[in-house]
Structure 1
Amino acid sequence: MDTCIINTPLGYTKISGNQDGITSVTVLDTKETPTDVIPEVLEDCAYQLHEYFEGKRQQFNLQLNPEGTEFQKTVWKQLATIPYGTTTSYLELSKQLGDIKAIRAVANANGKNPIWIIVPCHRVIGSDGSLTGYAGGLHRKQWLLEHESPYKQQRLF
């Protein structure tokens, strides 16, 4: 398994993967030293993440290989279909997966998503439009949603 650390506007990010694909992309809450030489199997992922943060990329084109249960992988695959700049709710996600009663299991799988940003769990919000739990912290979720929003709010101060 190869790993690297890159710096992003939201903190240091660890990318892990191998020839079979990217297994995880995780934002870190600690100060790290960025990797000088990114392993070849991770170069494209690091490049596409930099493009995303620069506002030049809305879709990722990477081979993914996250570890999880079959149910979790099904949820993560559905998350990957949420378009850039839009949101959905846990309830809607459960309906799309064919079982409205699985809302808690869907939310749990969403929270265990190991591939930050690329599998866009930040695009899932509460049915009332509220920001709900996010493993990377609600401040990061809000930043990501604002970054993707077609309606840019100017900061006054």
Structure 2
Amino acid sequence: MEIDKTIKGPGAGRQGKVVIRLDCDVPGGGFDRRFVINAGTTAGTYRQPVVSGVPAGTRCAVTEISTGENKEVRLARVTINPTTLTVRAGVTSRISITDKYDRHGKTGKDHKGGKGGKRAASLPGTGTALQTGRMAAGSLTLVLTGCLTVAAARPTRRRHERL
């Protein structure tokens, strides 16, 4: 059995560690494996070590238990084909896993998100969208509240008239 891992997309090379799990229904888990794709692995296809000697008729499933998403990239799409297979005698089965990574705040081929192709501003290195309109409104509200509080707390001077 062979597993080919493909990394692609505008965020490729910025992802964290990816861990692939192969679980076979053989008692004792003798053919279960974990394959690690190191953080920062660039775009391309990477063949994992061949798993041989698996008895015919064994059913195996493949999953990603760590996807590599981090503060710089998100996993836009993962394709595992097939996700499960039954081992056949004399045949080397191939499983293909493809991860497409986008940088945070960017989507699609033009790397622009939002309405009308405009991309929302984000905090560098976090991908968190700035809420500039909300921040400005909140700041203005705080300033006005403070001014009103100060004005209300000021003692008023009254002129006392003598009769």
Q: TM-score by structure 1 length?
A: 0.24
Report which of the two structures shows the higher radius of gyration computed on alpha carbons. 2
Higher percent of residues as strand = 2
Give the structure, 1 or 2, with the largest relative contact order (CA under 8 Å, sep 6 or more). Answer: 2
Q: TM-score by structure 2 length?
A: 0.23
Higher percent of residues as helix = 1
